[in-house]
Amino acid sequence: MDLEVIVNKVKNNFPESVLEASTFRGENTLVLRAEDILPICRFLRDDPDLFFDYLTDLCGVDDYPHEPRFQVVYYLCAMKTRRRLRLKVSLPGMVPRIASVVSVWKAANWLEREAFDMFGIIFLEHPDLRRILLTPDWEGHPLRKDYPLRG
């Protein structure tokens, strides 16, 4: 399935949401508006042609010192058609908040906790958003670019 077909399907249902669509090294990436991520993910999972039923990965990226600073990257896979798709949303540095997609794929549970732990991105409506890899009283978010390597 071409990138164009996917983009058209998404745009038909969410006209304002797709900010950018590109292909690099054979991989398709959509940059979306952060507010629409949850309904779009649900649509991508449930649409009978697209059927992205598998969340391969979810992670954060810090683009400091550029603004918007944070990105959340979702990497989806449709097992039936053996297709992959990357979704990206940009979040501001001051208060990075985005809806949680745990209700769409349970795999997002721990992945979002890790993004919170490492970057400080807050996932709204997450059932259990707390640190996962570091101690609960740790200060700071290590994968941010302004956090020193040696702590």
Residues near another protein (CB under 8 A) are 24-25, 27, 29, 53-57, 59, 61-62, 73, 75, 79, 82, 84, 86, 105-107, 109-111, 114, 118, 131-135, 142-143, 147-151
Find the shortest distance in angstroms from Cβ 67 to another protein: 16
Query: Would you say 59 or 122 has its CB closer to another protein?
Result: 59
Query: Would you say 2 or 25 has its CB closer to another protein?
Result: 25
Measured CA angle at 18 (ends 96, 15), to 5 deg:
120
Query: Would you say 18 or 45 has its CB closer to another protein?
Result: 45
Find the shortest distance in angstroms from Cβ 43 to another protein: 16
